[in-house]
């Protein structure tokens, strides 16, 4: 059971890091990027779901 949880945790980490990179590259204001990155770091699960639907859409 430990291996499955570790693997799922690693997958989730990759997803959150991907969201942070996409947010850092977005063409939005600095404050907006910083707030989204903080939300993703503090609340990774809920933050990612909010980011997925409400996050910045512009690409850098």
Q: So what's the pLDDT on residue 1?
A: 59
In total, how many domains does the chain have? 1
Assess if residue 16 is contained within a domain.
yes
Assess if residue 32 is contained within a domain.
yes
Q: So what's the pLDDT on residue 55?
A: 86
Q: How far is 7 from 37, CA to CA, in rounded Å?
A: 23
Assess if residue 59 is contained within a domain.
no
Q: How far is 2 from 14, CA to CA, in rounded Å?
A: 18
Assess if residue 60 is contained within a domain.
no
Instruction: Quote the domain boundaries for residue 41.
Output: 2-54
pLDDT in tens, the chain (60 residues): 566 778 888 898 999 999 999 999 999 999 999 999 999 999 988 999 999 898 887 654
Q: So what's the pLDDT on residue 41?
A: 93
Assess if residue 21 is contained within a domain.
yes
Q: So what's the pLDDT on residue 40?
A: 93
Q: So what's the pLDDT on residue 56?
A: 81
DSSP per-residue letters across 1-60: -HHHHHHHHHHHHHHHHHHHHHHHHSSS-HHHHHHHHHHHHHSHHHHHHHHHHHS-----
């Amino acid at each position: 059971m430990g291996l499955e949880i570790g693997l799922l945790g690693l997958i989730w980490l990759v997803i959150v890091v991907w969201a942070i990179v996409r947010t850092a590259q977005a063409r939005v204001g600095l404050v907006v990027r910083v707030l989204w990155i903080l939300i993703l770091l503090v609340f990774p699960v809920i933050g990612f779901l909010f980011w997925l639907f409400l996050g910045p859409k512009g690409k850098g």
